[in-house]
Structures are given as structure tokens and as C-alpha cells.
Structure 1
Amino acid sequence: MTTPPLIVFTDLDGTLLDHETYDWSPAKPVLNDLAERGIPVILTSSKTAPEIAELRSAMALDAWPAICENGAGVMPAGAGALPDRAPYFQLREVLNQVPDALRQHYCGFGDMDASGVAEATGLPLESAEKAALRAFSEPGVWTGTDEDRGAFVAALAALGVTARDGGRFLTLGWGRMKSDAMAEVLAMYGQPPCIALGDAPNDIEMIQNATHGVIIPNPHRAPLSPLKGEAEGRVIREQLAGPEGWAHAVRDISRRYK
């Protein structure tokens, strides 16, 4: 596989996609320029593979892999290409090994039908069906006490499963983050320099580990705390939000690479 001059890793919601409208058209000229130069753009999101696949095709990025479920897995390149769901089914098996007294307080997406996922997420039914097609991780709702929750998380950890609090959901997985998946993709392409862009706490490790990290401002959340690399300028804060800021930052940085 030929090593490209640069790779772009990008979060979706609030970064490449407008926070409110999900529009990405302001970034289209830059995406077209990157395509002409053979620079991969790797969509890197908490979304599932079926959710990302639709966006990846719309953005004409099917030639490149994508990172799904907050870095839990990498989906292969190709229109409609989806990852093997075996890690998810293995995760569900481990979840069901937790003692019933604790397991009963956790309702994962795999315990719900599509309408239940729609109700839990606020998504339309069709979108909820795609969100439920997990391949690597399991979001769910905890309904027990804080004490039991600590015991639940400890029981999972003893079985090799991590639990990460995302606010609305307690998400179970195999301990990977976006930065882990980014490292996997960089190895696939021969370790070229890279840009990583994001707006949220789950993007921090990815941004800090990139050659060039870009924090996209999100007026709907508190600004990220100062990150490693900002003092020396390796990580920058874009002034424009959403796809406008994305386009400005990527255009500026990518000009340094031929």
C-alpha cells in the first residue's frame, strides 16, 4: 500500500458535520482537493458502521477505511463494507456472565428492540435501527444504585471489559479509544503525518497524538481544557465552528504537504 503524504482523521458531529443541521457542504471543496491529492480522510466517530457508511458514501470517501464506535473498531474501505460483528456478540456473552443481581440493572441496546433504542436515544426509528447494529461496543442505561454500579463495573473489568460513562449511556467495550484506532490506520498506511480534528472530550487523545491536532469550537458545550501540544503549537484551536472551521484548518495545514 502506497504511503500518502498526509492522513486526515476527523470527528463527525460538531466537527465535520454542523452541530444543528448536520450539513457538511462548506467542507466539500477541501474534501475534493484532498481526494485529488490522494490524501485519505478517515471518518472517526461514535456512530456505528451502518451510520458511518451512509455518510462516507455521500462524501465520496469509500476508498478509505473509517473508525466507528468511538475507536472500538475500524470498518474496511468500500461502499457498503461493514465490519464483522463477532466482537459485539462476544461482548454480550461476557456481559451476561455478570451476576444477575447486578446485570438486571443494566439495559443495553442489545436488550432493546428498535423502538426502545429510538426512545432511549431520541432518534427516528430508521436511525435507531442503524444505531443498534453494534459491532464492537454496547451502550446502555444503568438503573441501579451508585454502589451497585461500581460493583458492576468492577465485575466487567475482571472479565476484560471496560465501562465508560458518556453521560446518557454507560458504554461497554474492549478498552479501545479513537487514538488506538488512529494508530491502527496509520500503521496500515506506513505511518505518514496526520491531522486529527474534534470538538469533544472523546476526541482528546486522538488530537493530542496527531502530528497536527485541531480543536473545533462547539458553542453548545464548554471548551476543552488546555491539551498537551498546545503550548508548542502542535495542537491549535480553530476559531470557526463546524465544517467552516474544519475546512479552514485542513486547508491551511494540508498546504504544507505535497
Structure 2
Amino acid sequence: MTDDLPLLVFSDLDGTLLDHDSYDYTPALPALAALHRVGAGVVLATSKTAAEVAPLRAALGLTDWPAIVENGAGVLDAGAQATGDDSDYRRIRAILATLPAGFQGFGDVTAQDVADITGLPLSAARAAQQRRFSEPGLWKGDAATLDAFMTAAQAAGLHARQGGRFLTLSMGGTKADRMGALIARFAPRTTIALGDAPNDAEMLETADFGVIVANPHAPPLPPLRGEGAGRIIRTTAPGPHGWSQAIFALLHRLGLIKEAAPDV
């Protein structure tokens, strides 16, 4: 880290830095290396748990930076491991027991079920169930019942966020909330945020530059504030390919690199 941080990047994972199907990040490695060379920081911002993020953050060489976990419901500090108080999660599960039926959370199914739903290996699915701040799940009822569920959840103090795959319930806090606190802490000259889902929209609009990464598995995000002026851009390539192309393009646009982006 540096007292004069030129750039701080906030990145979603699934469907953005990670391939939607394979969870591969290899195509993004050249861009990550370029960010390291210019002294930029990278904060992972994801619906994943601390238990999932900690080994991935280490593999990406990003342990010097905190990570936003469970859709912004919590933060994994720089260098920290995935342990801590799970009282928020236990409170969410207790509230869920009082709400209209239809929501099937990770706490309602087996690790094998989570693996089947997400395509994760069984060990990673177990890590996805090690929750501290939020409960993702699928809605199994009809639309009318969902409205009643959402109204009751809100009345009980729960916050709901729709991501690329799951409806996630928490006690509050968004990716954008955590992002704002980290910007205040690190005071970067410029910020970039990358994401592909509705729960990333506020984060993309909060950054100096936002990148909507193409996701062929979901409807495209509607136009965001700042997109018409070019402050928010869209990739044509999905996942880590689009991620890498956008990072190189923005690094060049910011004058932080001179070389052309490699083919990715």
C-alpha cells in the first residue's frame, strides 16, 4: 500500500472477475499484473462468504487489501482469515422462520444441494454455507407470495438484494456502503468498479469509472447514471475476458499505461 494511492479497483466476482460457469479467472491475470505494476489496489466485492474469499484473495495476490463480502453485509480485513462472530446470520435465520414460506436459503439445504445449484465443488459449497452476515437463496413460491414475503421481511428489519443468481437477505449494508467507507480510508486518486448484476449498480455509480461486464446469462442492466457521459462503460466480452479488456482500456485512458492492451 502507499500513502498516495493512484487507483483503487472494486470488483464483483461471479460473472465479472470469475467466469460465470467455470469460475476461472485466468484471462484476468494480465490485467491484475498491470494493476500491480501501477501501484493500484484491488478490493474484491462479492456475495461470497469470507470463507470463500480468503483463499481466492490469496491466490490472486490481493491479501494486502480488504474484501467486501456477503453482498456488502460485511468486510474481510486485509490479511484476515474467515473466522468471526456469526450472530447476524443466526438472527436472520430466526427471522426467516417467522416469514411466509417460499424462500429456500443456503441454511435450508445440504452442501451437495449448494454445489448442484451453483456448480461449485463440494468443498467450495461448504465454504459458501459458512455465513456470518447474510443468507442467499432461491424463491420457490409464486410472484404474489413473494410480494408478501418481501413486505414481511422488510417489516422484520431484513434487507433484500437480488444478485445474478440469488436473492440475499441481510441486516443491512451494501457493496456501495462498504466501498464508500474504504474510499474514505484509502483516499485513492481514482476509483474503478466492475460488476454484472443489479446488486452492483450502486457500486458502479459510486466509482469514478464503472464497468458493466457483459453477462449473457441474465438480462442486461438498464442504463446507469453517468453511462451517457462515458463514465460508465459496457464490455462486449463476458466475465474475466471483458474484465481484462476494460481494465487495460481504463488504465490507458487514465494515462497509467502506454502499451496497447494484449489480446485476452
Q: Which residue of 1 aligns with 2:238?
A: 241
How far apart, in 2, do the equivalents of 1:55 and 1:68 lie? 12
Instruction: Say whether 1:163 aligns with 2:160.
Output: yes
* Number of residue-to-residue matches in the alignment: 254
The residue that corresponds to 1:28 in the other structure is: 29
Counterpart AA for 2:58? S
1:173 aligned residue: 170
Question: Partner amino acid for 2:126?
Answer: E
Deviations 1:29-59 (A, max 9, x none): 2212322333111111122111122211111
Q: CA deviation at 1:181?
A: 1.9
Q: Which residue of 2 aligns with 1:254?
A: 251
Q: Alpha-carbon deviation of 1:144? A: 5.1
CA distance in structure 2 between the aligned counterparts of 1:10 and 1:124, rounded to whole angstroms: 23
The alpha-carbon distance between structure 1 residues 153 and 224, as it changes in their structure 2 partners (threshold 3 A), is closer
Q: Give SS of 2:229's match.
A: coil
Percent identity between the aligned chains? 49
The AA in structure 1 aligned to 2:5 is P
Q: Following the alignment from structure 1 to structure 2, what is the Cα–Cα distance between the partners of residues 39 and 167?
A: 27
Q: In the alignment, is the contact (CA less than 8 A) between 1:5 and 1:257 conserved in 2?
A: no
CA positional deviation for 1:217: 1.7
Matched residue, 2:217: 220
What's the offset of the Cα at 1:81?
Answer: 4.7
The amino acid that maps onto 1:30 is A
Matched residue of 1:238: which SS? strand
* CA distance in 2: counterparts of 1:178 and 1:117, whole angstroms: 23
3-state DSSP class of the match of 1:240?
strand
- The equivalent residue for 1:117 is 114
In the other structure, the counterpart of 1:42 is 43
Which amino acid is the alignment partner of residue 117 of structure 1?
V
Question: For the structure 1 residues 230 and 51, does the alpha-carbon distance in structure 2 shift closer, same or farther, using more than 3 Å as the test?
Answer: same
- Aligned CA-pair RMSD: 2.7
1:155 to 1:3, Cα distance in 2 relative to 1, 3 A: farther
**Does residue 190 of the first structure (1) align with residue 183 of the second (2)?**
no
- Paired with 2:113 and 2:228, the residues of 1 have a C-alpha distance of 46
**1:132 equivalenced with 2:129 (yes/no):** yes
- Measured against aligned partners, the alpha-carbon deviations of 1:154-183 in whole angstroms (never above 9, x if no partner) come to 333222112345586442112332212211
Q: Deviations 1:98-132 (Å, cap 9, x if unpaired)?
A: 26xx3x55443223342343455454322221111
Partner of 1:60: 61
TM-score of the pair, normalised by structure 1: 0.84
- Determine the C-alpha separation between the residues in 2 that align with 1:245 and 1:106: 33
Q: Could you tell me how far apart the structure 1 residues matched to 2:215 and 2:141 are?
A: 33
* Runs of 5+ unmatched residues, structure 1: none
1:207-234: CA deviations, max 9, x gaps?
A: 1221011122223333322211111111
Cα distance, 1:36–1:79 mapped onto 2, change above 3 Å: farther
